[in-house]
A and B are shown apart, each in its own frame.
Chain A
Amino acid sequence: MAAVWTGMVLVSILCGLATGRGEAVAAAAMEGAGAAVELCLTMGGMLCLWTGVMEVLRRAGVIRALSRLLRPALGRLYPAFARDGQVMDSIAANFSANLLGLGNAATPLGIRAARRMAAATPGRANDGLCTLVVCNTASVQLIPATVAGVRLAAGCRTPFDILPAVWLASAVSVCVGILAARVLARVWRD
């Protein structure tokens, strides 16, 4: 991140000087920080409300209910571990927490599954583990509350009207990821 940030600042300074926009860059350097605080304040309420509602759902046992529902389908994604109850329980709970956007709950569950899966091939990512990681790097969150908060902060009156588009894009992304993993599993040599 250090290199990325330094690069961004240096490119802005050089590009600003080269295009004669030095003053604009200087003004912008003093604007961003305030804009960040403002953004946090305006989207903060939405974010807090949503983590609150999700905590209610979590305590009501919705993760467990979703996991039970999803487990049979998920078993097909992980043929090598379909008989390992502990791994499949963790994977199903991880996926369910991801659907609800509960990142803090999803990560430990996913890691528990990843550790047990890694024990089969120490140090080397087996096909199941690759699929698990790909599923976690693709977003499956049903209600993207943070993004909705940002839209709200930008003055949008219906921040959730993007939901159908988000679901479409998420579904495509996850399916392509899983498909890519399947194809690569066949051709990868190492």
Chain B
Amino acid sequence: MDLFFTMVVPLIMGAAAVAGMCRRVDVYDALVQGAGEGLGILVKILPALVALLTAVYMLRASGALELTAAAVGPLLEKLGVPPETVGLMLVRPVSGSAALGVGAELMETYGPDSTVGRTAAVMLGSTETTFYTIAVYFGAAGIIKTRYAVPAALCADLAGFLAAAWAVRVVFG
């Protein structure tokens, strides 16, 4: 099983190439064009990351993050969530780039293979930028009365955070 997850990238690359060839897709052209799109995404998030990582680094240096973690730490620990991830959970539903910045800083500080680093990564990977998504969909559909969409979506986020900490414990022991 471990080998499968180590090999997942090359395996998917191979499968995509074979599937493309079978459908007579110009695989190489698609790959290069798609990679170009990735570059576009990167260029779009770089300025936001510059702004947000600056603020995140300042927050960390000022000790404000530790104070918040200490304030809600006991509650989070009871739920099995590392208190260091409190900043990540706060910004995740509001801004994708900010969450990426906070998460990257956590992985850098505690190490990508620490419990904190892994929990941060799983939290990022299993949740979305909730408020942005809601704004886009309801905006496009002309919805004014959003009814229970926001509370239900936040329930999903909260469940995702708790489940992320739990899943890291289950998978990595």
Contacts and interface: CB of A to CB of B under 8 A. Distances in A.
Note whether A and B form a binding pair.
Answer: yes
Interface string B116-148: 011001111111111001101110111111111
Given A107-B136, A147-B125, A177 B152 contact: yes
A12 B62 CA distance: 5
A129 interface: yes
Contacts of B67: 15
A59 interface: yes
Contacts of B163: 168-169, 172-173
A46 B99 CA distance: 19
B16 to A, nearest CB: 4
B25 interface: yes
B103 interface: yes
B55 interface: yes
Interface residues of B, number: 105
A21 B137 CA distance: 43
Q: Is the interface of A mostly helix, strand, loop or mixed?
A: helix
A28 interface: yes
Q: Is the interface of B mostly helix, strand, loop or mixed?
A: helix
Given A33-B53, A156-B113, A134 B153 contact: yes
A160 B5 contact: yes
B122 A169 contact: yes
Contact of B170 (A11, A12, A16, A165): A165
Contacts of A5: 51-52, 55
Nearest to A61: B23
B149 A134 contact: yes
Contact of A39 (B31, B49, B60, B98): B49
B167 A165 contact: yes
B155 A177 contact: yes
Contacts of B58: 8-9, 12-13, 16, 25, 28-29, 32
Given A44-B39, A59-B30, A170-B125, A124 B143 contact: yes
A143 interface: yes
B80 to A, nearest CB: 13
Contacts of A57: 16, 19-20
Contact of B59 (A12, A61, A180): A12
A16 B61 CA distance: 7
Nearest to A173: B160
B159 interface: yes
Interface size classification for chain A: 35 or more
A169 B160 contact: yes
B164 A165 contact: yes
Given A115-B140, A169-B167, 18 more contacts: A8-B56, A25-B58, A25-B62, A29-B54, A36-B101, A48-B36, A51-B37, A53-B16, A55-B33, A57-B20, A134-B153, A144-B125, A147-B121, A151-B107, A162-B118, A164-B167, A165-B118, A172-B163
Interface of B: 2, 5-6, 8-9, 12-13, 16-17, 19-20, 22-23, 25, 27, 30-39, 41-42, 45-46, 49-64, 67, 91, 94-95, 98, 100-101, 103-105, 107-108, 111-113, 117-118, 121-130, 133-134, 136-138, 140-149, 151-153, 155-160, 162-164, 166-168, 170-172
18 contacts: A5-B51, A8-B59, A12-B55, A21-B62, A21-B63, A35-B57, A54-B16, A58-B30, A107-B136, A111-B140, A129-B149, A138-B160, A158-B6, A160-B8, A163-B8, A169-B125, A180-B155, A188-B147
